[in-house]
Amino acid sequence: MERRAVDWWVGLFVLLGIAALVVLATRVGNLSGFAFSNGYTLSANFSNVGSLKVRSPVKIGGVSVGEVTQIRVDPKTFMAKVTMRIDPQLKLPVDTGASIYTEGLLGEQFIALQPGGLPQDLKPGGTITMTQSAVNLDQLIGQMIFSKASSGK
């Protein structure tokens, strides 16, 4: 009877819904971001983190290798202490540097790591010492206008 057709359609409908959810989760959402959940943590101190946020990406040479998990102010030094989780397969040398860059002119900010050359690796929970803070765009523009104005006189 028609009964079987209804069953078929309803089954197909539900499957379609589940498939759509899976595609949304993996392709549109960053469910793949959970891949770093078993990574190890490193921290770095910056004088200015700009608009860096928790979950901002950590990249090496443009490739995502981790994400920011925590940002807080160190109560002694008043520096911003950024904790990040890194892909466990990557062993970074102790002289690795960390900088905060902006993606494009107005894009989001991320941490770029520059691996160094020393043979010892950073241990989980270790601290990156060589850091370069976020570029403050307002300050930069202000400086530019100021220098233009003074040279124009």
Partner 1 sequence: MAVFDFIPNLGNRVLATVPRLGTATRFLMLGLAAIFSRHFSFRQLLRQVYGLGVLSLALMIVAAFFTGMVLAFQGYYALVRFGATSALGTLVALSLLRELGPVLTALLFAGRAGSALTAEIGSMKATEQLSAMDMMAVNPLAWVVAPRLWAGIIVVPILCVIFDLVGVWGGYLIAVPLLGVDGGTFWAQMQSNVTFSGDIMNGLFKALCFGLVVTWIAAWQGYAAQPTAEGVGSATTRSVVTASLAVLGLDFILTALLFK
The site for partner 1 (CB under 8 A) is made up of 3, 6-7, 9-10, 12-14, 16-17, 20-21, 23-25, 27-32, 55, 57, 103-108
Shortest Cβ distance from residue 20 to partner 1 (Å)? 4
Q: Which of 47, 57, 33 is nearest to 107 (CA)?
A: 57
Q: Which CB sits closer to partner 1, 7 or 74?
A: 7
Q: Which CB sits closer to partner 1, 55 or 76?
A: 55
Shortest Cβ distance from residue 61 to partner 1 (Å)? 15
Shortest Cβ distance from residue 78 to partner 1 (Å)? 28
HSE of 30 in the Cβ direction (CA atoms, 13 Å)? 11
Q: Which CB sits closer to partner 1, 70 or 77?
A: 70
Q: Which CB sits closer to partner 1, 105 or 149?
A: 105
Tokens of 48: 């200015």
